[in-house]
Each structure stands twice: as structure tokens, then as C-alpha cells.
Amino acid sequence: MGKEEKITLEAEVVEALPNAQFRVKLPNDHEILAYISGKMKTARIRTVPGDTVTVEISPYDMTKGRIIYRGPMPRRDRGPAEAGTEQQPGQPGSEGEATPPA
């Protein structure tokens, strides 16, 4: 009898626990305990709560899993102070254009 295939799911890290373990929330709102794979440890990939990760789960024990990939960093929205400071192209004072004399 051969080994069963692992189940691979996208999940979100909810809590960082000691010993490189994390509590992750699956798309069906279940939370499982997951640890970081060896390749992620050797590459020193940081995983923090809020990250989107790919988790492998064994079909024999659905309460534990292994984090095999950390997705792209979530985009942080800019604060209200930074929102209006960026200049639009074509406006006076933007790069590449001369400002008209006053």
C-alpha cells in the first residue's frame, strides 16, 4: 500500500508560537498547528501573523501541517499623511518637465 498524497491549501497565519510553529487559518475557517519546512528555515524566510502561506496537510492527521511557501507580502495602504504627497505626471513640478516662469 502506497502513501497518500498530501493536501495543499492556501492559509493565513493567525499566531506565531514558540519553536517555529504557527497557528494558521484555513479557507474553511478551521485552525491548525503548522511548522516551517526545512528549506524555509535554512533560507531564513520570516513568517509573521497576517502572511498568506501554502500549507501541506497529511490526510491521516488533519490537525497539523507544514508551511512550504510564504506568499507575497500583503500590500500596506498608505496613511493619510502620505496619500496626497505624490505628484501626478503632467503637473508642474513633476520630473522631466520644466515649470513655467512666474
Residue 23 to residue 15: CA distance in whole angstroms: 5
Domains of the chain from N-terminus onward: 7-70 (2.40.50.140)
Higher model confidence: residue 99 or residue 64? 64
Q: Is the dihedral of CA 72, 12, 37, 42 positive or negative?
A: positive
> Is the pLDDT score of 74 beyond 70?
no
For residue 79, what pLDDT band results from cuts at 50, 70 and 90?
low
Q: Residue range 76-93: average pLDDT?
A: 59
Q: Residue range 54-62: average pLDDT?
A: 94
Q: Residue range 38-64: average pLDDT?
A: 94
* Confidence at residue 4, expressed as pLDDT on a 0 to 100 scale: 84
Give yes or no for a contact between 53 and 69, defined as CB atoms under 8 angstroms apart: yes
pTM: 0.68
> Is the pLDDT score of 7 beyond 70?
yes
